[in-house]
Copies of this chain bind each other. A is one copy, B any other.
């Protein structure tokens, strides 16, 4: 951590910074510049010390963090890629894992048709929402536990693990009893009550990026899931909020190489929620695979026109099958397979 003093800061002010640092058992090195004094604070835990502790002292101009604020999710903590096991399917290895299914479980028929279609086209994990976080209280809120039962039934019938979202910290146990992997949604990325409970579940967790959170904040949120010794966390980029209005969220393609550099966790991409429109899904999905994503999360509905939720961003079974063909070729061109 680097503390820059104001031009003209007094010796006493510099000393106060040094004392505070020593009280936190940090090493200190003084740089008496021609214009400014700069104090470097050294120690292995400076990433977890709030910069405010120093910024608030008199005579301090700015405090800059050198260590990253996250720890357990960092590449330094674990230099080797983590493999996440979702009901026997490994995420983070040579195989690119496609997770597909409807946005919401709407009925047994709808879910079984979707599961059959995605299985046939080559998806390895089934997705479907039972608890839906909806922006409007007047919208369909999901089938809840009945939806979980249908997901379990689809797993039986098609032999695919299932992933589904949990939105209330007190539902973690219930959802874990049905699902192979929990999903924490974008709007809950900084819902710490939920993260804390999900971190205690035996299930692996897909942590979607908050649509306005930096990668650094995202990995810090992942630390919440990792605190109990769990290492089964998958990061899912799903688009960030920008000024561009031709798409619902702008997919941050550079998040993939940045995460690969800074974290050991597998990275998947959700082109459907970013795009908001089925016609943009294939280009984004292909880009993600080329950029090094370990998997994709794609919405597929047997009949998008009749979907209760997010039909516009869902692929039809035939569009999905065609996209899977294209993705296989691209996966091979980067030395992987689907």
Contacts and interface: CB of A to CB of B under 8 A. Distances in A.
Interface residues of A, number: 108
Given A212-B241, A280-B254, A56 B168 contact: no
Contacts of A202: none
A241 B139 CA distance: 27
A42 B52 contact: no
Contacts of A67: 35-36
Interface stretch (A80-88, A150-158, A218-226): A218-226
Contact of A64 (B2, B35, B57, B255): B2
A42 B34 contact: yes
A58 B210 CA distance: 32
Contacts of A211: 212
Contact of A220 (B64, B136, B279, B310): B136
A78 interface: no
Interface of A: 2, 4, 7, 27, 29, 31, 33-36, 38, 40, 42-44, 48, 50-53, 55-57, 62, 64, 66-67, 69-71, 76, 133-139, 167-170, 187-188, 190-193, 196, 211-212, 214-217, 220-221, 223-224, 227, 240-247, 250-258, 261-262, 274-275, 277-280, 282-284, 286-292, 304-305, 307, 310-313, 326, 329-330, 332-334
